[in-house]
C-alpha cells in the first residue's frame, strides 16, 4: 500500500479512537472554586441601594446619630474590584460628592485588612495609623487611583453603569464606615464601604446595611465581644487603650453604636 494511503488510514483511526478525558483533580477543583469566590460580587446594585435607603433616616430608616445625610455605599469583591456603587438620594448631588470615592476606598480598605478568620473594620485602624502607632503611614501606602475615581460620565455615578465598577479604587481609609463581608458559611466575600456623614455615623449605617444583606457572619475581630465593632476607648491623652480605638464624633453616634452592637464604649474594653 502506498505510503500516503497508510498515513490517511492512520489519521482516520485517530479521529474515531476515543480520546482520554482530562478530569480535574481535587486540588485543581479547589483552586477553581477559590478563584470563583474571589471574583464573584457579593452584592449587586439593586440590593445594595435598597439596603442603604432602609438604613438611613432620609430613606425612612432610623437615625445614625450624626447629621442624618443621604449617603453613598460601595461593595468590592475579594480581589478589591468595585462591584456596586450607589447613593441613597434621588440625584447624584443629594449626598456629598466627595464621598463616592471614599465609600469605594473604605470597602477596599476593609477588604485588604480583613482575613477569613479575622475582620478589621476601617474604624479599627484609626489609632494604629496615628503617629507612633504600629500602622503609622498605612494611609499613604496605597494611594487612590485618580484614573478610576474620576473616569467616565458623572451622570452615571451611582448607577449600574458607574465607571468605577470592575476597577480597583485604591486608597486606605482609617476611620469608620468600612466593613468586611462574610457569608452564612463564614467565608469572607469582599467588603462594604459607606460614606456621607460623620465617620462614626457611617460605621453605624454600614453595620445596618451589612446586617440587612445577611453578610455579617463575622468569625472574629479585634474588638472585644463584638468582633469588628468600633471601639471608643481613646483617652484624654489621645491614646487608645486597645490600640484599635476611634475618636467620638459630634452627635449620638456612640450610643446608637452600642445599642446596635456596632460599638464598644470605653468601660467595656478589656
Task: Check if the beta carbon of residue 122 is closer than 8 Å to that of residue 106.
Answer: yes
- Cβ neighbours for 7, distance < 8 A, ≥ 6 positions apart: none
| Residues of the chain above pLDDT 90, percent | 80
Predicted confidence (pLDDT) per residue in 144-155, tens digit? 999 999 999 999
Residue 166 has pLDDT above 90, yes or no: yes
At which residue does the C-alpha cell 480583613 appear? 114
Domains of the chain with CATH codes: 42-268 (3.30.450.150)
Give the three-state DSSP class for 6: helix
DSSP for 219-231 reads: --BSBTTTBS-EE
Exposed, middle or buried, 23 (CB in 10 Å: 0-12/13-18/19+)? exposed
The residue among 200 and 225 whose pLDDT is bigger is 200
Predicted confidence (pLDDT) per residue in 93-132, tens digit? 999 999 999 999 999 999 999 999 999 999 999 999 999 9
Task: Check if the beta carbon of residue 145 is closer than 8 Å to that of residue 168.
Answer: yes
Give the three-state DSSP class for 165: coil
Give alpha helix (H) positions in the chain. Answer: 3-16, 26-39, 45-54, 99-113, 146-149, 199-213, 253-260
Predicted confidence (pLDDT) per residue in 38-56, tens digit? 899 999 999 999 999 999 9
- Type and span of the H or E element at 195: strand 188-195
Amino acid at each position: 500500500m502506498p505510503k500516503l494511503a497508510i498515513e490517511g488510514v492512520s489519521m482516520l483511526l485517530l479521529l474515531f479512537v476515543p480520546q482520554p478525558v482530562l478530569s480535574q483533580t481535587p486540588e485543581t477543583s479547589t483552586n477553581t472554586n477559590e478563584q470563583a469566590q474571589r471574583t464573584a460580587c457579593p452584592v449587586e446594585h439593586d440590593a445594595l441601594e435598597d439596603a442603604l435607603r432602609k438604613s438611613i433616616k432620609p430613606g425612612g430608616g432610623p437615625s445614625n446619630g450624626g447629621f442624618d445625610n443621604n449617603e453613598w455605599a460601595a461593595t468590592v469583591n475579594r480581589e478589591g474590584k468595585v462591584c456596586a456603587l450607589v447613593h441613597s438620594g434621588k440625584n447624584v448631588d443629594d449626598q456629598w460628592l466627595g464621598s463616592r470615592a471614599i465609600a469605594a476606598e473604605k470597602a477596599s480598605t476593609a477588604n485588604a485588612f480583613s482575613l477569613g478568620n479575622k475582620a478589621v473594620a476601617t474604624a479599627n485602624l484609626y489609632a494604629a495609623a496615628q503617629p507612633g502607632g504600629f500602622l503609622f503611614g498605612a494611609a499613604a501606602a496605597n494611594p487612590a487611583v485618580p484614573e478610576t475615581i474620576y473616569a467616565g460620565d458623572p451622570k452615571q455615578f451611582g448607577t449600574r453603569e458607574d465607571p468605577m465598577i470592575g476597577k480597583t479604587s485604591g486608597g486606605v481609609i482609617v476611620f469608620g464606615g468600612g466593613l468586611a463581608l462574610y457569608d452564612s458559611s463564614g467565608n469572607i466575600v469582599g467588603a462594604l464601604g459607606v460614606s456621607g456623614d460623620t465617620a462614626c455615623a457611617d460605621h453605624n449605617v454600614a453595620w445596618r446595611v451589612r446586617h440587612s444583606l445577611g453578610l455579617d457572619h463575622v468569625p472574629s475581630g479585634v474588638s472585644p465581644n463584638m468582633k469588628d465593632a468600633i471601639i471608643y476607648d481613646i483617652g484624654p491623652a489621645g491614646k487608645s487603650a486597645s490600640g484599635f480605638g476611634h475618636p467620638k464624633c459630634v452627635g449620638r453616634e456612640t450610643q446608637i453604636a452600642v445599642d446596635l452592637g456596632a460599638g464598644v464604649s470605653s468601660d467595656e474594653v478589656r
